[in-house]
């Protein structure tokens, strides 16, 4: 029973140390207020930091998973829309001509081929790029500011242009996305050979 009381006492002290630290107090001030050694406060802060980091990692992993799910749903919709945009469509043309014997109307149904709407490929490319960013698959990009040191930071955007991709390349990218999603869902890191270089 003594051990339990000791653990509760330590937890209570650590809660107080955390509150006082967040209020801006120094280790020395906290030690004086709690009547303990400064080294005890230092150890408590180390344990508190470990706990906060473990929560942050869990929260970050959960947030990554949620964003990847959203991107997956969006990409699936874009793939479906892309496939629909390539289908032949029927166009109904109606017209009315007035002849010497009275009104006549003409109706015609015509099939038009389609090469697909490239806007859906742009959306797919955006999804792939965002997924790669979240998973950290791009090589690091070094940025140098060559202008005014007080100027705004340089922004770099990653983008993929799939409008010229072949059907085979598109099929490969879709399979790659499915493999990556399975790896992330199963808690594994993506395979090293799947790492993509960052765009230049």
Domain end (from 57, 86, 101): 57
| Residues 158, 139: Cα–Cα separation, whole Å | 11
Do 47 and 111 sit in the same domain of this protein? no
Q: What is the mean pLDDT of each run of 10 residues along the chain (200 residues)?
A: 83 87 87 92 87 74 83 90 85 70 69 80 90 80 64 58 72 72 56 42
| Domains held by the chain: number | 2
Alpha-carbon radius of gyration of the chain: 30
Do 110 and 132 sit in the same domain of this protein? yes
pLDDT of residue 188: 52
pLDDT of residue 200: 40
pLDDT of residue 195: 40
pLDDT of residue 36: 93
Please report whether residue 148 resides in a domain: no
pLDDT of residue 199: 44
Please report whether residue 199 resides in a domain: no
Residue 103 has phi, psi (to 5 degrees) of -80, 140
Sign, CA torsion 17/34/42/50: negative
Please report whether residue 52 resides in a domain: yes
Please report whether residue 121 resides in a domain: yes
Length of the chain: 200
Detail the DSSP E strand segments found in the chain: 89-99, 102-112
pLDDT of residue 108: 75
| Residues 50, 61: Cα–Cα separation, whole Å | 17
On whether the CB atoms of residues 14 and 46 are closer than 8 A, the answer is: no
pLDDT of residue 192: 42
Other Cβ atoms within 10 Å of 181 Cβ, number: 18
Do 103 and 190 sit in the same domain of this protein? yes
pLDDT of residue 144: 62
On whether the CB atoms of residues 12 and 42 are closer than 8 A, the answer is: no
Domain limits for position 184:
58-141+154-194
Do 17 and 115 sit in the same domain of this protein? no
């Amino acid at each position: 029973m003594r051990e339990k009381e000791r653990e509760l006492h330590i937890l209570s002290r650590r809660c107080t140390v955390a509150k006082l630290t967040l209020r801006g107090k120094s280790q020395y001030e906290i030690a004086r207020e709690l009547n303990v050694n400064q080294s005890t406060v230092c150890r408590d802060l180390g344990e508190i930091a470990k706990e906060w980091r473990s929560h942050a990692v869990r929260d970050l992993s959960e947030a990554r998973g949620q964003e990847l799910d959203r991107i997956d749903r969006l990409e699936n919709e874009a793939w479906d829309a892309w496939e629909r945009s390539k289908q032949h469509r029927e166009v109904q043309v109606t017209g009315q001509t007035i002849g010497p014997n009275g009104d006549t109307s003409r109706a015609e149904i015509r099939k038009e081929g389609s090469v697909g709407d490239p806007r859906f490929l742009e959306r797919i490319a955006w999804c792939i790029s965002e997924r790669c960013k979240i998973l950290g698959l791009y090589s690091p990009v070094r940025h140098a500011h060559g202008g005014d040191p007080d100027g705004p930071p340089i922004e770099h955007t990653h983008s993929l242009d799939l409008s010229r991709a072949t059907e085979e390349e598109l099929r490969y990218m879709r399979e790659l996305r499915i493999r990556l999603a399975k790896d992330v869902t199963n808690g594994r890191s993506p395979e090293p050979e799947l790492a993509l270089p960052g765009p230049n």
